[in-house]
Structure 1
Amino acid sequence: MGSFRMGARRAVACAAALVLAVTAGCTAKTPAEDSEQARNLVIGATAQPQSMDPTTQSGAQIPQALLYNLYETLVKIDGDGQIKPLLAQKWSTSPDRLTYTFDLQPKARFSTGDPVDAEAVVANIKRIQNQKNVLPLLKRQMSVVSSAQATSPTVVTVKLKRPSQTWLYDMASATGVIADPKAFGSLASTPVGSGPFAFDEWKQGESVALKLNEQYWGTPARFDHVRFRYFADANSMSSAMLAGDLDIISDLTAPEALDQFSDTSRFTVLEGTTNGEVVLGMNQGKGGNPALKNVKVRQAILHAIDRKALLDAVWGGKGQLIGSMVPPTDPWYEDLSQAYPYDQAKAKALLEEAGVTNLKLRLRVPTLPYGPSAAQFITSQLKAVGITATVEELDWARWLKEVFTDGNYDMTIVNHVEPRDIVNFADPDYYWHYDNPAFAKLVEQADQADDAQQVALMKQAGKMLSTDAAANFLWLFPRIAVTTADITGMPANATSSSFDLTTLASRNG
């Protein structure tokens, strides 16, 4: 079924969904969404957001729905992973790489009608620097900024404390979101940005709806209403797609269901890559088992797990084995996937060398599609080398609180989708609590280096993470998306956290 649904067609879809026993049911539409003229798009997604403000709440779920769609940034990451203009129509950098001058889009407006001027941009930069409840990661990314000034209504001058290769790249993510300063106090529930879409409604646990932003300064969106619907169960999402209740499955989390979408007259299947590293994280700080501070114990855990068999069993063989926190789309990628081959005898020997016996670990995983199934597989393999791992499944909100924030775990499994997130290992306060000054120094040197030196230094950093068994990098998450046959403009690869709606259109439109 196409994206331009009429009321009668909606009723047929709901009836079909009932026949197929779609657990999530049919989301009621507003009168505007149900009109014959409305151009509607419904997207199936997995993990639901816990807030509408990506600067104060962790997780990729908020950027997925809102980044580049509702919230805009000075620059954005395009489908090839390159930095492109957005709210800044152009920018320049001083020869010493310490001063950035941004020329803003003069017609840019927030959805309220207020101008996106230089003062608004400066207010957002200072908010990241100074507001207490902003995420520590974002504060760290913005800490390199010495000053930000509105040098004219449409020109912003930013001075850095030192040269930084990553700062402008970070400004294309949640760190660089430009929200309406008048709405700072209510962004968590009512976001206000300058993108092609404006906020419509958030049904917690069910959906996020956007509507066309009538104030948009750029090329108008091709849809009047977009709704992200959240499914805890992958089969329910597939059933909803087959019933005509969805236009897009953003990420197919049941690869074995691909055959259901083989009818090319109804569906288009896209397979590509992402930045998402599925990581078996090991807590090497307070709250974790002290044995995990021993590199030989961590290396034993890596040797004990057959990652190829894990990928085949859990994700239908879709994805790519990796050996560090570096996807192939990064310029410093090296294939380190065979650094720790599956070798149970080697794992046992390393545990013996470490003097560790009867090791018991808490494996606390989010109830995302890959988490519990991967945990059960890993538990079985660890048992074979004498490690007892007890699995506990947590909903996403609880995982964010108890694991990510409080550090109450020994091991966990999460897909990290933020671009170039290897630098998080340089922060000992990040939830893995990996504390390696040599690694942190490499990352700092690479950030200040020129392009060639940066690549060389980051290759060293990637190799150091692998050698030190900082985590078990299980596999690179694939991009498997399904659309109805009339949807066009969907990129095969996911190069940022955003599900960018600006490229999408319908042949029926």
Structure 2
Amino acid sequence: MLRRLLLGLLAGCTLALGASAQPRERPLRLVLNVGLQNLDPIASPSFVTRNFAYMVYDTLVAMDGKGEYQPQMLEGWQVSEDKLTWTFTLRPGLEFSDGTPVTADDVIASLKRWGARDSIGRRLIAATKELRAEAPNRFVLQLAQPFGGVIDALGKPSVHVPFIMPARLAGTTPPTQAVAEVVGSGPYLFLRDEWVPGERTFFRRNPRYVPRPEPADGLAGGKVAHIERVEFVTLPDVSLRAAALTRGEVDYLEYGPIDYLSIFRRDRNLVIARPGGIAHIVGGVSINHHLPPFDRLPMRRALQAALDRSEILAGHGLPEGMTDAGCTSMYLCGTRYSSDAGGEAIRAPSLERARALLREAGYANERIVILQPADSALINPMALVVIDRLKRAGFNLDVSTSDWSSIAQRWVAREPIERGGWNLVPVIYTGFDMADPLSNVGIGYNCTNTQPWGYCVPAMTPVLDAFAAESDPEKRKALAADLQRLAIENVTFPVDGQFQAPAVWRAELKGVIDFGFPVLWNIERSR
């Protein structure tokens, strides 16, 4: 299959050149970490779906390269003195890909659907008295109670992003189900007829898109699509990824294969990204809190005790300076809310301690299903070490090895073990997802029952409420530290190491925005 896929890439180039007397512009080809299966960024918590969505949808607010929030689809906003009434105005010229104008009704339907799914979104909607349209291009967010992060919520950069869709879709589709059509107002159009799920995804420039006048900056500014066509390609074999990039058969790797980074550094035809703190990645283990045995805290603590961050990160073989095994912050070290609170519980992992905790928990050797994503170059090396350590600690693991696309479908389903259910899934997240308590997967989804893991720590609820309402930065930091301590104590989402995984692209690409995940507008070829 891999050989067929690579040959398909080459054949596509040949056919394009032979189709007319004038060579057609080469498409921009991005190699994704995993295959794209789900097209709805609200229904799916996957990064690959987020990457897809930034091509075809747009957001009201966007994060720039400094981590600050700027108007994107919005012309601007006004805030009342008591900060309870927010009036937003859409910028002119916004159209969906079906030719209909973007209106306040579309925004309201999209925000309500997102708010029923996302951690920050749920809190924003819960604090809202009313969302109402005042004109086709203007809407009002009337808060019932203080909410300290309105703009942070609307500009959330990663899973789940509040992308704007037509009201006819967002207003009629449950947030856990995929919308029937991909209709957005972003810089590219999705070519559904050419899509090969899990393998190749095709886009072309959206002629209806009107970029902002400012220069592109992070996710903000003008999203100018200079290249007519873009392709997302899946190459599970990392050696094929490396070969395709060095030969110029693909242009951009979402994540450079770690074993090849030293080689890439010596190649003047390649550029290696330099991701900052919020763009760093943290590995962890998604726990199914709904099913035995990890519905019991002692079992989760035994799991947490077995996770040695140094050993797990060593599985990647990353160059020196690209890992931080000593970091115990759930928010990632080097980010706004980074903290050592509760870190003593995970600072000294031990298999002996894990075995003792299993005995205390009364573990009776029950089968534990762990899903291993063998096609993920970033998750799989860590997953292999996690599996080995858990087996050595005495967990009776039933390892189900598959591709990430298949695992993602099982992950979001709530089935019992005998019908394809799961107990553990090794995963990764970036600082974009983890650096804020309200979006952190081990904190912000507490007692919401909207995500696969389903943890609920009653003591966290009032602290989360206080954080959401607070606007003072120092008070927010103190509350964030309390939340981290509670999350570690209750093992909502055990982390197993922070590291860098840079993107790599061909040096002939100019205007690439180094943001921490693929931003494919603003790019031109130098030749």
TM-score interval, normalised by the smaller of the two chains? 0.7 to 0.9
Alignment of 1:130-209 (within 5 A): 135=117, 140=122, 143-144=125-126, 145-173=128-156, 174-181=160-167, 188=179, 190-201=181-192, 202-209=195-202
CA distances 1:58-91 after superposition (whole Å, capped 9, x unpaired): 3221221222x32011101223322111001211
CA distances 1:455-479 after superposition (whole Å, capped 9, x unpaired): 2111210122123333320123523
2:371 equivalent to 1:364: yes
Among residues 235, 244, 263, which one is paired with 2:239 in the alignment? Answer: 235
Q: CA deviation at 1:179?
A: 2.0
SS at match of 1:246: coil
Structure 1 pair 23/260, CA: closer, same or farther in 2 (3 Å)?
farther
CA distances 1:139-198 after superposition (whole Å, capped 9, x unpaired): 735633332222223222112333223443332355521123456689846422222222
Among residues 254, 279, 286, which one is paired with 1:281 in the alignment? Answer: 286
Q: Which runs of 5+ in 2 are unaligned?
A: 212-221, 416-420
CA distance in 2, matches of 1:311, 1:24: 35
Aligned residue for 2:497?
475
Letter in structure 2 aligned against 1:479: A
Among residues 447, 450, 457, which one is paired with 1:427 in the alignment? Answer: 447
Identity fraction in percent: 21
Q: Which runs of 5+ in 1 are unaligned?
A: 1-16
- Number of positions where the alignment pairs a residue of Structure 1 with one of Structure 2: 479
> Is this contact kept in 1: 2:271–2:505, CA < 8 A?
yes
CA distance in 2, matches of 1:93, 1:27: 55
Structure 1 pair 39/110, CA: closer, same or farther in 2 (3 Å)?
farther
Letter in structure 1 aligned against 2:447: D
CA distance in 1, matches of 2:298, 2:117: 33
CA distance in 2, matches of 1:88, 1:57: 25
Q: CA deviation at 1:327?
A: 2.1
Q: CA deviation at 1:208?
A: 1.7
Aligned residue for 1:255?
258
> Is this contact kept in 1: 2:330–2:338, CA < 8 A?
no
Aligned residue for 2:42?
55
CA distance in 2, matches of 1:147, 1:235: 53
Q: CA deviation at 1:425?
A: 4.0
CA distance in 2, matches of 1:53, 1:403: 16
> Is this contact kept in 2: 1:315–1:370, CA < 8 A?
no
Aligned residue for 1:310?
312
SS at match of 1:442: helix
Aligned residue for 1:266?
269
Among residues 100, 112, 124, which one is paired with 1:114 in the alignment? Answer: 100
Aligned residue for 2:297?
295
Letter in structure 1 aligned against 2:67: G
Structure 1 pair 183/437, CA: closer, same or farther in 2 (3 Å)?
closer
Among residues 68, 73, 85, which one is paired with 1:99 in the alignment? Answer: 85
RMSD: 3.2
Among residues 25, 36, 49, which one is paired with 2:23 in the alignment? Answer: 36
Aligned residue for 1:440?
461
CA distance in 2, matches of 1:288, 1:478: 34
SS at match of 1:66: helix
Alignment of 1:474-493 (within 5 A): 474-493=496-515
Q: CA deviation at 1:309?
A: 1.5
Letter in structure 2 aligned against 1:400: A
Q: CA deviation at 1:442?
A: 1.2
> Is this contact kept in 2: 1:479–1:492, CA < 8 A?
no
CA distances 1:243-276 after superposition (whole Å, capped 9, x unpaired): 2111111112x30111332344211112324264
Among residues 355, 363, 377, which one is paired with 1:348 in the alignment? Answer: 355
Q: TM-score, normalised by structure 2?
A: 0.81
Q: CA deviation at 1:24?
A: 7.1
CA distance in 2, matches of 1:212, 1:22: 24
CA distances 1:384-411 after superposition (whole Å, capped 9, x unpaired): 3333323112333432333332162222
Q: CA deviation at 1:136?
A: 6.8
Structure 1 pair 300/156, CA: closer, same or farther in 2 (3 Å)?
same
Among residues 397, 417, 431, which one is paired with 1:389 in the alignment? Answer: 397
> Is this contact kept in 1: 2:120–2:444, CA < 8 A?
no
> Is this contact kept in 1: 2:9–2:249, CA < 8 A?
no
CA distance in 2, matches of 1:60, 1:31: 30
CA distance in 1, matches of 2:477, 2:150: 16
SS at match of 1:80: coil
Aligned residue for 1:6?
none
> Is this contact kept in 2: 1:141–1:170, CA < 8 A?
no
Aligned residue for 1:226?
230
CA distances 1:215-242 after superposition (whole Å, capped 9, x unpaired): 2212432211111112222222222112
Aligned residue for 1:46?
33
